[in-house]
Amino acid sequence: MEAWGEPTFRVKSKLFAMHASADTHHGDGREGVWIKSAHVTQDMLVRADPKRYFVPPYVGKSGWVGAYIDRGVDWEIVGDLLRDAYRLTAPKKLAAQLDAPAPARSRAPAKKAARAKDHAPAKSGAPAKKRGNLRK
């Protein structure tokens, strides 16, 4: 969804990240993304690496952190920040799905296809073999 002329990222209509174009006052000359975070995360990142992270205008006072994405990006950290932002914003049930194990892959279609193959007419024209208990 776009707001303020920039793409925004939301969960249940609540903002957790926003793109900041270099050519707007949001980007201040550099491409970046604003990410919802805790004050301690913002403080740690900005102090440790001010060439990559910054306090964004408007939302910085709420703990959001800005990450420049125009050069030297550590995408793993940005990804972690975005995941954390989603968790901070999403309802608990949705946030819990990030930690849930992936659902087991259903093998039903493969079994169905194998069964159909077993019951298909043989290439020689002879009747197909049937599976299951055969009484003699």
Say whether domain 2-96 belongs to CATH 3.90.1150.30: yes
- SS3 state of residue 59: coil
- SS3 state of residue 30: coil
Pair of tokens at residue 25: 């006052």
Domain positions in the chain: 2-96
pLDDT score, position 16: 93
The CA distances from residue 5 to 15, 21, 25, 113, 120, in Å, are 14, 9, 11, 50, 59
Q: Tell me: the pLDDT tens digits for 74-132?
A: 999 999 999 999 999 988 888 888 777 777 776 666 555 555 555 555 555 555 555 55
Q: Which has the closest alpha carbon to 13: 22, 3, 4? A: 3
